[in-house]
A = this chain, B = another copy of it.
Amino acid sequence: MDINEQRLWNRINELGRVGVDVNGGLTRLSFTDEERAAKQLVRKYMIDAGLQIREDEIGNLFGKLPGNNPNAKTVLIGSHVDTVLNGGMFDGALGVLIGIEVLQTLREKGLTTENSVEVVAFTDEEGTRFSTGMIGSKAFTGQLTSDDLTNNFDKQGISIAEAMTSQGYSPNKLETVKVEPESIKCFLEVHIEQGKILESNSVAVGSVTGIVGVRWLRVKLQGEAGHAGTTPMPLRRDPLAAAAEMITVVENLAKVQEGTVATVGQLSVNPGGVNIIPSDVEFTIDLRDLSDELLEQLLVGISSGVDSICSKRGITYTIEELHKLSGVSCSNEIKEEINTSIEKQGLEVIELPSGAGHDAMVMATFTETGMIFLRTKDGISHRPEEWADKEDVSMGAQVLYDTVLNLA
């Protein structure tokens, strides 16, 4: 291995002790002392790595290794160091620390690149504090407005702008955060998978094909309440029996195509008596796939399934779209580079979509983007138990190192 495995692992563990909360997890919300302390430590690592440091007015922290050609575009590596409430120590931090490790290794080996290579810790990817995330990468790519800063509030009623000011940033200098797409060659992010695909394939590192699009639906069914004892089956208009059929339809539609997922995560029943046929039922559907076209087909399929079940059962319904996010694809060229780097380690190449959002999702709308996933124990994330093995972390860093060498 080229990279320094122990140094990287030590940093992950050291940064993993910043912002420990009363429940034993990490809580580093944006523009708080905990997040600041995390960035201070990252700044120290960047200094140790000999990088040129700058911080922009939204709090994105950069460390740069200049290339041989000052006119060449920058290869940007990054992720974030904020966490959810009671989160783990790998989500985000891993990508930043691996980026620093890759740059430090390049510098220590005296290797120079044509392009500058820069690592970034983006501000507030998780969205936990203001219920809107990817603040740093959106500002960096010009997708955040002044209104966004003043119209989004935390639970104490503090706006993003106010929170920025409290940490010494200038909301009125938001424009200075934005860079020109021409200055960036590509963006690379290493992240824990937060799922079980790599684990179930016994592979440490995966090659991400894209970030899935998302649709959230709420289905409301109105039937007719009745006495459980005195209403014969043929006379019922039971919305829960209808919902049960629909959940099976949704599951079966999602199973047709590999990579599609569909989840019914919320369901409520009224009035909810043991001996009362429900009058109305509400449930949500979370639908994801890389292909927006396929998502739209799935919506049609679900809608038609709901309609025919309802019409058979005398149930009325509404379907509401709560949330819609288009999927983005990673760059094929970069993916091939990543695959080559994975193969170089003697590993099987597993290509997989990202089911969750990342800064890379924002960056992919701005520049060529590549993403590397690391195997995650039991698929768990956003909890203190979130875990990636040291060997896997090293492997991920090495794959990124080789990829950067080929791209920069």
Are A197 and B379 in touch, CB under 8 angstroms? Answer: no
A168 on the interface (CB 8 Å rule)? no
Are B275 and A265 in touch, CB under 8 angstroms? Answer: yes
One complex includes copies of this chain to the number of 2
Contacting B at CB under 8 A, from A33-51, are: none
A240 on the interface (CB 8 Å rule)? yes
Report the bound CA distance from A328 to B320 in whole Å: 48
Contacts of A277 in B (CB 8 A): 263, 265
Report the bound CA distance from A248 to B264 in whole Å: 16
A390 on the interface (CB 8 Å rule)? no
Report the bound CA distance from A221 to B247 in whole Å: 16
A288 on the interface (CB 8 Å rule)? yes
Report the bound CA distance from A265 to B225 in whole Å: 10
A372 → B minimal CB distance (Å): 15
Report the bound CA distance from A228 to B286 in whole Å: 7
Q: How many residues of A contact B (CB 8 A)?
A: 59
A193 on the interface (CB 8 Å rule)? yes
Are B228 and A195 in touch, CB under 8 angstroms? Answer: no
Are B286 and A230 in touch, CB under 8 angstroms? Answer: no
Are A273 and B266 in touch, CB under 8 angstroms? Answer: yes
Contacts of A232 in B (CB 8 A): 195-197, 258-259, 261
Contacts of A230 in B (CB 8 A): 193-197, 354-356, 379, 381
A284 on the interface (CB 8 Å rule)? yes
Report the bound CA distance from A52 to B82 in whole Å: 85
Report the bound CA distance from A196 to B381 in whole Å: 52
A374 → B minimal CB distance (Å): 13
Are B241 and A200 in touch, CB under 8 angstroms? Answer: no
Q: Which of B235, B240, B288 contacts A229 (CB 8 A)?
A: B288
Are B265 and A273 in touch, CB under 8 angstroms? Answer: yes
Contacts of A196 in B (CB 8 A): 226, 230-232, 235
Are B259 and A248 in touch, CB under 8 angstroms? Answer: no
A399 on the interface (CB 8 Å rule)? no
Q: Which of B227, B275, B354 contacts A195 (CB 8 A)?
A: B227
Contacts of A263 in B (CB 8 A): 228, 238, 275-277
A243 on the interface (CB 8 Å rule)? yes
User: Interface centre among A230, A233, A267, by most B CB within 10 Å?
Assistant: A230
Query: Given A231-B195, A269-B267, are A248 and B241 neighbors across the interface (CB < 8 Å)?
Result: yes
Are A233 and B261 in touch, CB under 8 angstroms? Answer: yes
A260 on the interface (CB 8 Å rule)? yes
Q: Which of B227, B273, B278, B382 contacts A379 (CB 8 A)?
A: B227
- Smallest Cβ-Cβ distance to A214: which chain B residue: B229
Contacting B at CB under 8 A, from A211-233, are: 212, 214, 216, 226-233
Contacts of A265 in B (CB 8 A): 228, 240, 269, 272-278
Are B235 and A260 in touch, CB under 8 angstroms? Answer: no
- Smallest Cβ-Cβ distance to A284: which chain B residue: B274
A322 on the interface (CB 8 Å rule)? yes
A229 → B minimal CB distance (Å): 3
Are B266 and A272 in touch, CB under 8 angstroms? Answer: yes
- Given A212-B229, A240-B247, A263-B275, 7 new contacts (CB under 8 A): A195-B232, A229-B356, A231-B261, A232-B258, A233-B261, A265-B272, A265-B275
* 3 closest A-B pairs by CB: A229-B355, A195-B230, A244-B247
A-B contact pairs, 10 of them (CB 8 A): A196-B235, A197-B232, A197-B235, A226-B379, A228-B286, A241-B247, A244-B245, A263-B275, A266-B273, A266-B274
